[in-house]
Amino acid sequence: MAGRYSFDDCHIDLAALCARTGARLLHAEAVGLSRAGRLVLMRGQPPLAYDLLSLDVGSAPHLGAIAGAAEHAVPVKPIADFGKRWLAFVDRARGPTKIVVIGGGAGGVELALAIDHRLPEASVALATRDDVLAGHARAAQKKMRAILARRGIRVVENDAAVGVETDGARLASGERLAADAVFVVTEATAPHWLTYTGLTLDARGFVALAATLRSATRASSPPATAPRS
């Protein structure tokens, strides 16, 4: 993001790695599980059988909470899509550019600072529904506010984003932040298909884990019924 490393520096050749280690690589999206049959259901491919299954399906910002975000904002996840969209935006950016980052957690703060470093002519604003770095130590919050102010990044705290349009973001207070691009780094949401696996989930819909990092699901727990499309 900040431009300190090239795209190639940040990536590995996964196909070559799998070939060296004897792993099979499938470019396909997982969309469900058949726990009884020990199968991973894949989009556009036959199910994949397993004896042991490790889940690393990631997350994405909850765009549904902000009107227009799905159409007009750039979410930071999935990271592969974000990386491509960011590089395309950098190629287009010329001269003074207005950018809004929605989300004041560690990810949002890091993103705002990286954008400011990469695009020094850009005007960057950070909007958050809570305090900056909410949940972190007060000393860390105070220091980060000073860093953001020193870098010229405007911070709007305790004012949630309620809408994103083609040329900016609207806040709950009624203020409108003009922007050439809006990036969303808000609370993450889990893949919806986990709901129908029968796995025990936490309050946010992610797989609940035991202390061993294995699923907290009891073996006898039945899967839920997925809605018919």
pLDDT class of 99 with cuts at 50, 70, 90? very high
CATH of domain 60-188: 3.50.50.60
- For residue range 57-96, list pLDDT tens digits in order: 878 777 888 999 999 999 988 787 888 889 899 998 888 8
Position 226 confidence tier, pLDDT thresholds 50, 70, 90: low
- Closest-CA residue to 33 (of 147, 195, 171): 195
DSSP H or E stretch at residue 165:
strand 161-165
Domain boundaries defined on the chain: 9-58+191-229, 60-188
| Model confidence band, residue 106 (pLDDT cutoffs 50, 70, 90) | very high
Show the tokens assigned to 208: 């609940």
The SS3 of residue 185 is coil
**Phi, psi torsion values for 118, nearest 5 degrees:** -75, -35
